Amino acid sequence: MTGSHGAPEPRPGAGAAFAAYQAGRSGEAEAIGRAILAHDPRDAGAHYVCGLVAADRGALDRAREAFETAAALAPDKASLRVTLGNLALRQGDDEAAERAFRSALAQAPGSVAAHTNLGAALKRQGRLEEAVDCYRAGLALYRGSAWWGTDPASGAAVLDPAQQETFRIACRAKLEFDLAQIDHLLAQDLLPPALAHAREGLRRVLEGFGGEDQPNTPRPLTDGERRLIGSVYNRVIHRPPEEATLPALNPRLDAAAIERRYHAT
């Protein structure tokens, strides 16, 4: 294809593929990514986008191969190793996930995601003390970042306005998972009863969200959905520092019995 002056039009880059993916147009994203790779098989961004699409479709082995290729082609991008580690966790390959997260931390020691997700990989291997250390490191880094703030009026922890802009897309599977988690925490008295309204806000979003046939495919959020979801996450997940440091385990629970059941599995 040529432009108005006869010069070839530039091909869409990996940024265009990722933008299409973020907008929920996964087919278009994959088509752009594959077109890029047909001309430049060493484009890490294109491999990454193709991996995202494959993961959403449940083709996890293909996604992992794409993420591994992307990480090898862009060794300076710690985020690619975090993505690879997350997929390994999803596949149940905890040791591979650990390797990926440690590799990311070697490149970016300040990565909150790498610290906390490494904690998840270690926990699943039964290495609980190491996991706690990782969670603490991630929490300390998170509180020292621009993401952490406190509303002077209410004392509630909030995301700054720039971070609120990240509530742009979501997939049904993630929202359903988060709603189930909030239901569980409320039932176990691990969240204040006053936060039950947050659950209802998320439930209202899900009622009109759609996506039952493609639960892992993200779509853009409307302004109303963004406000509801932002409120849920800011109130439930981004808690005030004094609350976040409280024990996560309900004191009425039998901790010894929980430990026995955990190790039995």
Residue 163 has pLDDT above 80, yes or no: no
The domain limits of the chain are: 14-143, 149-264
Mean pLDDT over the full length of the chain: 76
Q: Does residue 247 surpass a pLDDT of 50?
A: no
Most confident of 53-57, 178-182, 238-242: 53-57
Using pLDDT thresholds of 50, 70 and 90, give the confidence band for residue 245.
Answer: very low
pLDDT at 215: 76
Quote the pLDDT of residue 97.
Answer: 94
Lookup result for tokens 């082609």: 73
At residue 219, the pLDDT reads 75
Domain 14-143 CATH superfamily: Tetratricopeptide repeat domain (1.25.40.10)
| Per-residue pLDDT tens over the stretch 203-241 | 888 888 877 777 777 777 777 777 777 766 666 654 444
Q: Is the pLDDT of residue 49 over 90?
A: yes
